[in-house]
Structure 1
């Protein structure tokens, strides 16, 4: 495999995120290979930035389920990018169910720490209800179209049976409402009412205690990039149009015909036998109609329309001194007057910050300084992107003073945040299976073009990225596997069967 020359087919990859780099890593059939990346950096939705005295992950944060079944974990281990605890056998066997297990404290909006017993017993109710959704996978009749509607109906049924006075019951509802917000962050959606109930449990969680990269998540794509021949990845090269089913020739070579031409926004164009498209679903939703010529088949366009793609942003705050107890790694937030059984506020300007689930304490402080990372999803998260750093910092200072009951709490000294919705080549964070869609739409999105298997020029346009993996959508490991999958499709087509390199 070479960046610019060699015998064999010409392959272009649109993007240079984990799916694209995974495809390049495994692609043995290509003679010419180029990755066209719109931004000035590789890595896609993996984005590590300096902050405080260390690093901040603006995109992917944890390896979810770091165990032998996770290719990102295996590759990172192979490259020596993980800390010693990630390799411990017992950590690889923990069933976290997709939720990072962190010692936590829960602040109520009245300025007091809430009873851990009440918080934990309420979270157990929510967890049990979430677990009960697995019975609806492939079921004929559903009690509700969405996860949110099902959970709320169950909560309404259970609430009258709870013990305690009215205040305790209201507090339990408020904690459950906070659980919904956390689930929105995990699912990358504005509301669990948008997430389809039937296919919800098709998403598969892997065992393992979620871990981070000591040198930053970007150390993984950086390492993969360094293994590619110089010149393979072209940065600042946004693609305008992918023309397929064509007969394109290069000037001066009338012999060879190519079915694919990729035109970039700077006027450059590239001819290829195959193109692997790894752009995010959010970009496809906005641009697919003018991005492909001829347009995508209706079935694929419909899958793009129906699948969900939401925003989950992070807000990093650096403090001179910590106000939190060093034993806690997660500061959770509960607005005590809220309930999942009440209509949520639609006044984003007044209430956007209430969608924050709380703050993860970035560890260890000796390496990173005193840094909190807040998580916020949905329309509120998108509204937050429109505000200035000063407005966000001022609002969150007020929120933290309210939660801690300390009106003198010093303001953070610096702020850094992600803006995935306004990023033009991303338009959000990751995919979910929305009402009106199913896992079959993910498979349709992953299908190469042309659809006709008897076409003499097969696999002209291939699709990879987290939104094309039926059971690991929304994850880095889903993205990596999808890139490997499409590389193997081309390897199989050309009979390139020698073992892949590197092998995790």
Structure 2
């Protein structure tokens, strides 16, 4: 009977590295299928990973993941959040779930210029329309024979410049509209999680799939979802504060266990502890993998997996939350774009990061409703400028943000009460924010990254190391739902493996 239990998966030892939503989702699925020996090893003292809810003056803010992107029935995060009653009525409405977003959400926007003037929406509208049309067009080269250029940035800049020179040649607003293109390029850097759109591959840009629904937030914080998911797991399933030093697979660290069988995998932690397993599900961020791959796995990654991992992009997108004494924006305003009037050369990164990092900030979103947040803004900044911002003292960031608001509003009396910023690049277990398909990269590279070890055709014990996390999903990379789906995918891979093994044994009895 013991042999049957093992081959049904019940006694298989599964270690999940990382207690983000991908790892938690994998654990949930395995345990529901009757797996008894599932543990999660987490480097930090908390669960959630890049889902991280904080507070500013007692008000909830999202340091990490911000929205449910595409809150509709196709989105597993939306379905879970609905199940746990974590969303408001507006988000749950059928109308909200059916909205199709092409580009920017239909927000009430203000356009502020570096000369301290508010730019007329009608004046900016043609530039916004051109940019969004080009952005949509840049997604259409996926699955076509050939993209006209190598990067999204090159395509957007070339086409936007051509259109502005042809259509607005005699228009006095041409320069400021071109400056707005720079702002929107910076915004897209944040959306894509890259330093510059010149680094994003044009041929595969359209591989990302948007789901219907108007992006929504968690009134009680995104971490509420993690808390509910964790509550459904056995109490002591997570081993916290155990950074992993090395994963030894293919029995490179093997010794006979007390139960008389050898485990093909052993996880060695920095504190000297070692945990043996039949299977590992690795859910750590791609940024950490890129930095530590040479010591993290023994034997190391096969060459084709290593090359694909190195080709994939992983960038930084940070937030700077500002609490103000009083609002300077209109009551219905949801986002304020910052237009540097001298940036009409269509640039999405600065020439000198140390002196001009603040120019990478594309916009402020207004946190709503006011009853919940008071007078709070969230500034968005991506790339190396964002990474440099993380190194500065908080007082310097506060001073720079104050100067920025004074310049763009023309109001020298604006005062910031408090500031909180995210610092994802310098988080030692994340090393950035999320993945993107870098120039020269393809869907095959994501498939290679997701391929379990040992490789197919090997005579070694199968499925020793499985790979999950947002960077391993071909169409939902960079999203929370992508991360969750990949955790489920790898759990299903193990479940199928043992079901198949059990069927083979039964057939031979």
What TM-score do you get using the length of structure 1 for normalisation? 0.94
1: CA distance, partners of 2:429 / 2:106? 32
Q: Which runs of 5+ in 1 are unaligned?
A: 1-5, 498-504
Residue aligning to 2:116:
111
Query: Is the aligned partner of 1:458 residue 2:462?
Result: yes
Alpha-carbon distance, 1:166 to partner? 5.7
Residue aligning to 1:347:
352
2: CA distance, partners of 1:293 / 1:496? 28
Q: Number of paired residues?
A: 491
Equivalent of residue 432 in structure 2, options 428, 434, 441: 428
Q: Is the 8 A contact 1:129 1:151 kept in 2?
A: yes
* Structure 1 SS opposite 2:499: coil
Q: Is the 8 A contact 1:260 1:274 kept in 2?
A: yes
Specify whether residues 142 and 249 from structure 1 end up closer, same or farther in structure 2 by C-alpha distance, changes over 3 A only: closer
Residue aligning to 2:93:
88
Specify whether residues 221 and 211 from structure 1 end up closer, same or farther in structure 2 by C-alpha distance, changes over 3 A only: same
Query: Is the aligned partner of 1:177 residue 2:182?
Result: yes
Query: Is the aligned partner of 1:31 residue 2:36?
Result: yes
Residue aligning to 1:500:
none
Alpha-carbon distance, 1:345 to partner? 3.3
Query: Is the aligned partner of 1:238 residue 2:248?
Result: no
Residue aligning to 1:501:
none
2: CA distance, partners of 1:247 / 1:163? 66
* Structure 2 SS opposite 1:196: coil
Greater alpha carbon shift after TM alignment, 346-355 vs 307-316: 346-355
2: CA distance, partners of 1:136 / 1:356? 29
Alpha-carbon distance, 1:472 to partner? 0.3
Alpha-carbon distance, 1:481 to partner? 0.3
Alpha-carbon distance, 1:130 to partner? 1.1
Q: Is the 8 A contact 1:52 1:369 kept in 2?
A: no
Greater alpha carbon shift after TM alignment, 233-242 vs 472-481: 233-242
CA RMSD of aligned residues (A): 1.8
Query: Is the aligned partner of 1:145 residue 2:150?
Result: yes
Residue aligning to 2:22:
19
Q: Is the 8 A contact 2:454 2:460 kept in 1?
A: no
Equivalent of residue 296 in structure 1, options 301, 305, 322: 301
Alpha-carbon distance, 1:193 to partner? 0.2
Query: Is the aligned partner of 1:156 residue 2:144?
Result: no
Alpha-carbon distance, 1:247 to partner? 6.3
2: CA distance, partners of 1:71 / 1:7? 26
Matches within 5 A, 1:356-435: 356-410=361-415, 412-435=416-439
2: CA distance, partners of 1:36 / 1:235? 6
2: CA distance, partners of 1:84 / 1:390? 40
Equivalent of residue 442 in structure 1, options 424, 442, 446: 446
* Structure 2 SS opposite 1:56: strand
Greater alpha carbon shift after TM alignment, 366-375 vs 244-253: 244-253
Specify whether residues 387 and 354 from structure 1 end up closer, same or farther in structure 2 by C-alpha distance, changes over 3 A only: same
Greater alpha carbon shift after TM alignment, 139-148 vs 243-252: 243-252
Q: Is the 8 A contact 2:435 2:470 kept in 1?
A: yes
What TM-score do you get using the length of structure 2 for normalisation? 0.93
* Structure 1 SS opposite 2:54: strand
* Structure 2 SS opposite 1:381: helix
Alpha-carbon distance, 1:10 to partner? 0.3
Write the deviation string for residues 425-455 of structure 1: whole angstroms up to 9, x where unpaired: 1000000000121111001101111003453
Q: Is the 8 A contact 1:312 1:377 kept in 2?
A: yes
Q: Is the 8 A contact 1:66 1:86 kept in 2?
A: yes
Specify whether residues 326 and 343 from structure 1 end up closer, same or farther in structure 2 by C-alpha distance, changes over 3 A only: closer
Matches within 5 A, 1:184-333: 184-246=189-251, 253=258, 255-333=260-338
Q: Is the 8 A contact 1:53 1:368 kept in 2?
A: no
* Structure 2 SS opposite 1:486: helix
Specify whether residues 343 and 287 from structure 1 end up closer, same or farther in structure 2 by C-alpha distance, changes over 3 A only: closer
1: CA distance, partners of 2:252 / 2:139? 49
2: CA distance, partners of 1:60 / 1:349? 27
* Structure 1 SS opposite 2:211: coil
2: CA distance, partners of 1:147 / 1:287? 29
Residue aligning to 1:135:
140
Alpha-carbon distance, 1:102 to partner? 2.0
Q: Is the 8 A contact 2:360 2:382 kept in 1?
A: yes
Q: Which runs of 5+ in 2 are unaligned?
A: 1-8, 502-509
Residue aligning to 2:131:
126
Equivalent of residue 475 in structure 2, options 460, 471, 474: 471
1: CA distance, partners of 2:200 / 2:498? 40
Q: Is the 8 A contact 1:53 1:369 kept in 2?
A: no
* Structure 2 SS opposite 1:431: strand
Specify whether residues 101 and 266 from structure 1 end up closer, same or farther in structure 2 by C-alpha distance, changes over 3 A only: farther
Q: Is the 8 A contact 1:262 1:271 kept in 2?
A: yes
Greater alpha carbon shift after TM alignment, 354-363 vs 445-454: 445-454
Residue aligning to 2:486:
482
